[in-house]
A and B are shown apart, each in its own frame.
Chain A
Amino acid sequence: MSTAVQVVGLIADVDPVPWARSQMAFTLAFHIILVPLGVSWAFLTLIANYRALRHDDADALLLAQRWSKYMAVTFAVGAVTGTVLSFEFGLLWPRFMGRWGEAFGVPFAFEGIFFFTEAIFVAIYLYGWRRMRPWAHFWTGVPIVLAGIFGTMSVVAANAWMNAPSGFTLDSSGDVVSVDPVEVIFNDAMPLETAHMLVAAYLVGGFLIASVYATGMLRGRTDHYHRLAFTIAFTVAAIATPIQMGVGDALARWVYDEQPVKFAAIELVPQTSSDVPETLLGHLNSDGSVTGGIPIPGLASWLSDPGTGTSTVVQGLDSVPASERPTEQEANVVHLAWDVMVGLGTLLFLLSLWYGLSWAVRRRAPGNRVFLVLAACSGVLAVVTMESGWVVTEVGRQPWIVYEYMKVENAATANTGVWITFIAVVLLYLALGVTAIQVLRGMSRRFRRAGGFHEVDGPYAPSEPPRGEPDEETVR
């Protein structure tokens, strides 16, 4: 009996804040992998679809059809994880939503509309292959691309607002009394942050899809179909990569100006000073010293503002009280994530450069094994790069949930059972992840077994009566 009481007491004593943070981080980390596919795959599919129609390319047509089916699966999984996120905003952060919902919610309301649009047109495009005229069908894919772009911008605008809250006035007790929705959406952090995520979606989606076909090519599947799929996806990613470096650089400078404490964590700068070295790896200790790593003298200062060079002053972590900056542990996480993002991003850039040069000089993609092996890894690398970037922006904002207005600990739920839901969510998501991969692989195996030959009556053939198509029915 007494052990039961103790167990109940233990459950009641568990601090919900770290568990709520872990659960939100875990579910977002999962969802963010699906996002690039949802946003960019439709675009890649339309490229294949366009090629099929313009050049009468049967392989491109088959590719577009199959991509539209894969896309529908990843979209459905994304819908489930997105639904869970919308629950979690309230379940884990009720005090955040209660106080800031009227401002923070505005971009989400727009996102809801774009998501709706996307869902509808994914369905129309997926099921329209046989029933619509070719070009009319092609155009039903365009709203998916646009809705993906605007949807991403809306969601990231909400996150940007947490970094640069604006567009509201507070009364003396701190409640929001008026809201300027335009200023909420177009807050200071919004333009660069949305651009960074949007380009990331095309970059990650492109590399992820290209890596699948690179693996296939390494296994000897080098027919036109596979090369076409690889070329479309990798080209989009290779174009996005240099753009991303430019956007990322501009965003880093924005952070230097507007979120100096986050910047200090990124560059591992304990005390405000000039001539700050760029430390690769390294570790911030509890006494405020930095050990290990490879310091490049003056580079952090120089990069922050090349105009003033190494004499640029970089604000240190100690410029604000300890309660208003990331802990040492968090600063180390931010710095490591930053190094990983920049390092892998540079690697992907070099890979893109190789690809681009090969096209420029020899009019074809590099065909050697080293390139293909790297390309086959590029998908996972790109995902890790994106996750690292997301860790930088989220952990770097700590302890704030709304920068300089509300701390995470004041936003979380007081329900002590969050650790239970965290465990349940992790288990269920593992099942969901395995499911999604199983389904996609099953489709791929099925498609491959069929080989590269084509249907006699193509998808754009005159539509048969909807009834009596036994081949469609028995598949299930």
Chain B
Amino acid sequence: MSDTVAVVLLLALTAYAVLGGADFGAGFWDLIAGGPERGARPRELIEHSIGPVWEANHVWLIFIFVVSWTAFPEAYASIMLTLFVPLTLAALGIVLRGASFAFRKSVVTLRSRRGFGAAFAASSVLVPYCMGAVAGGIASGRVPAGGQAGDPVDSWLNPTSLVTGLLALTAVAYLAAVYLVWEARGDDDAELTEYFRRRAVVSAVVVAVVGVVGLVVLHGDAPYVFDGITGRALPVVVLGFLCGTGALVLLARDATRGARALAVLAVAGLVVAWGVAQWPYLLPETLTVSSAAAPSGTLQALFVTIGLALVIVLPGFLLLFALAQKRLLPGEGVPDVADRTMHGSAD
């Protein structure tokens, strides 16, 4: 029973990576888009593509936390105690990001726009890095079992965390670039399509390089997960790699469809491969999923919530997703009479 909960947790993590991750990745492209004039157009597309979802993707993260502390309280306590620093940075980064993104939209002067834009972009980079570093700390067995604190520094400043942090950052940047190609193409904007297509291709290669370096690091620093990746999780890794390669070929050829789905599968493959590689451990080599699990009554309650999610949340989510895919969601809901006046006077 605890296995099922762990699988649900991994799926939620994957969903957060591919849906929420792209929001962060878009912030990365915002950060390196260059000066106010050169970067104006890509920034505009980024702002417009993030607009409708804004911070709502954090529901995945909240769900992940809630399931973790309910189903695996002891492991959750260990993780939060040990990885206090990167998790705090991630939390602060999420607030900074939300506030500065909204602020940038509402302020008018270029100078303050740049200030808040920088805060938005920098925090967008900080958060995925920290999340990746947390994953690295867990994967390399630096979080002890028993609701205890491990090393507060080495647990996230270590070779594995460095490489998983970078992997998270590059993977979300890659995803965002692929999504933005699609957005720009939807706007019939050939110039921006090309702009993000080139970046998607380059970042795909960077992800692959970081991934290979990561394998070398894992070999020395996190042997259990390395063995898992080259053993049990190998099919997932190969599948993810094939999807990534496929996406890269399609992007390089400037194909209009297919690249986005393959890119999502490639990034999902990364997260799933990590989960499969450290199976059956929640905290590698000290705490297994089944021994970390809460009493059966709690797990049954979680099953009920998962059932509710399938019945209530999933159909709504699919509807929303379908509307978004058909580009039926206008950026700010129904245009208000006020917007129309603004438009008139702005012209």
Contacts and interface: CB of A to CB of B under 8 A. Distances in A.
Q: Do A and B bind each other?
A: yes
A80 B62 CA distance: 10
Interface in B250-275: none
Given A113-B312, A476-B44, A435 B77 contact: no
B300 A181 contact: yes
Nearest to A78: B55
Place the interface of chain A in its size category.
Answer: 35 or more
B320 A471 contact: no
B327 interface: yes
Interface stretch (B32-40, B78-86, B192-200, B219-227): B78-86
B294 to A, nearest CB: 3
Interface centre among B84, B323, B326 (most CB of A within 10 A): B84
A454 B337 contact: yes
Interface stretch (B101-109, B160-168, B202-210, B232-240): B101-109
Contacts of A431: 96, 99-100, 103
B179 to A, nearest CB: 17
B339 A471 contact: yes
A98 interface: yes
A258 B98 CA distance: 42
A471 B334 contact: no
Interface string A127-148: 1011100000000000100000
A153 to B, nearest CB: 14
B52 A127 contact: yes
Contacts of B47: 476
Interface string B134-157: 000000000000010100100000
B147 A95 contact: yes
Interface in B59-87: 59, 61-63, 65-67, 69-74, 76-81, 84-85, 87
Contact of B79 (A90, A100, A413, A473): A90
A105 B69 contact: yes
Interface stretch (B169-177, B281-289, B301-309): B301-309
Interface in A34-77: 62, 65-66, 68-69, 72-73, 75-77
Contact of A76 (B56, B67, B304, B312): B56
B300 to A, nearest CB: 7
A474 interface: yes
Given A449-B341, A475-B343, A91 B297 contact: no
A428 B99 contact: yes
B320 A415 contact: no
B79 A435 contact: no
A86 B339 contact: no
Nearest to A82: B62
Nearest to A413: B81
A103 interface: yes
A446 interface: yes
B328 to A, nearest CB: 5
A459 B332 CA distance: 13
Given A120-B316, A432-B95, A130 B334 contact: yes
B56 A119 contact: yes
Contacts of A94: 76-78, 80-81, 147
Contacts of A26: none
Contact of B298 (A77, A82, A181, A453): A181
A462 B189 CA distance: 27
Contacts of A415: 81, 84, 149, 152
A257 interface: no
B90 interface: yes
Given A97-B76, A106-B301, A68 B333 contact: yes
B61 to A, nearest CB: 6
B334 A129 contact: yes
Contacts of B332: 69, 472, 475-476
A76 B337 contact: no
B70 A178 contact: no
B68 to A, nearest CB: 8
A408 to B, nearest CB: 16
A205 B95 CA distance: 24
Contacts of B298: 102-103, 105-106, 179, 181
B164 to A, nearest CB: 19
Contacts of A72: 333
B94 interface: yes
Contacts of A435: 99-100, 102-103, 106
Contacts of A454: 337
A475 B345 CA distance: 11
Interface string B308-336: 11001100110110010011111111111
B280 interface: no
A414 B149 contact: yes
B231 interface: no
A113 B98 contact: no
B58 A127 contact: no
A113 B55 contact: no
B49 to A, nearest CB: 11
Given A76-B55, A79-B56, A131 B84 contact: no
A179 B302 CA distance: 12
Contact of B317 (A87, A102, A111, A120): A120
Given A105-B73, A428-B95, A428-B99, 8 more contacts: A76-B102, A109-B66, A112-B66, A115-B62, A127-B333, A143-B316, A184-B301, A435-B103
7 A-B pairs with least C-beta separation = A105-B70, A98-B77, A101-B73, A90-B80, A102-B294, A181-B301, A450-B338
11 contacts: A62-B337, A80-B58, A88-B91, A91-B88, A109-B302, A112-B62, A413-B80, A417-B85, A425-B95, A453-B337, A455-B340
Interface of A: 62, 65-66, 68-69, 72-73, 75-77, 79-84, 86-91, 94-95, 97-106, 108-113, 115-117, 119-124, 126-127, 129-131, 143, 176-181, 184, 413-415, 417, 421, 424-425, 428-429, 431-432, 435-436, 438-439, 442, 446-450, 453-455, 459, 466-467, 469-476
